[in-house]
């Protein structure tokens, strides 16, 4: 039985992948649209840095619940990757994400007092 304090997180991408050599850049375009590094799309070859870019796209997706590059189809997603500025998108995210919005459910002093009374009555 695994100890819940030491759970392992595994990220799996079932898209197209290619094996590369440490010393040679892969000159074949492969990957999942929306997660492909721009240098791969521009036929400049893949590298370990390309994987870091893809990981960043996945983390963006996990944290924001949105894709970094969007489109109606594969071509649209690839076009978005080539044209969109991901830094601008990252900076504008804080305005949309619920973590950064002011809470609509603010507690009132009356609610806090009611909770205190309820807790005292349980004792």
pLDDT digits (tens, 9 = 90+) for 54-83: 888 988 888 888 888 889 999 999 988 888
Task: Work out the pLDDT band at 17, boundaries 50, 70, 90.
Answer: low
Whether residue 69 contacts residue 79, with contact meaning beta carbons closer than 8 Å, is answered with no
Contact 78, 67 (CB under 8 A): no
| CA nearest neighbour of 79 among 44, 47, 34, 46 | 34
Q: What is the pTM of this model?
A: 0.56
Domains along the chain with CATH numbers:
4-98 (1.10.510.10)
- Cα-Cα-Cα-Cα dihedral sign, residues 100, 95, 77, 56: negative
Structure tokens at 20: 């590369």
Which tens digits make up the pLDDT trace of 93-118?
A: 555 555 555 655 565 677 777 777 77
């Amino acid at each position: 039985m695994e100890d819940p304090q030491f759970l392992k997180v595994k990220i799996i991408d079932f898209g197209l992948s290619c094996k590369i050599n440490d010393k040679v850049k892969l000159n074949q375009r492969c990957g999942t649209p929306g997660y492909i590094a721009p240098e791969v799309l521009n036929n400049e070859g893949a590298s370990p840095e390309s994987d870091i870019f893809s990981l960043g796209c996945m983390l963006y997706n996990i944290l924001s619940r949105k894709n970094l590059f969007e489109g109606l189809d594969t071509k649209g997603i690839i076009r978005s990757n080539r044209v969109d500025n991901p830094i601008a998108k990252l900076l504008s995210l804080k305005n949309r994400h619920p973590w950064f919005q002011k809470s609509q459910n603010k507690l009132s002093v009356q609610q806090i007092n009611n909770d205190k009374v309820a807790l005292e009555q349980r004792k």
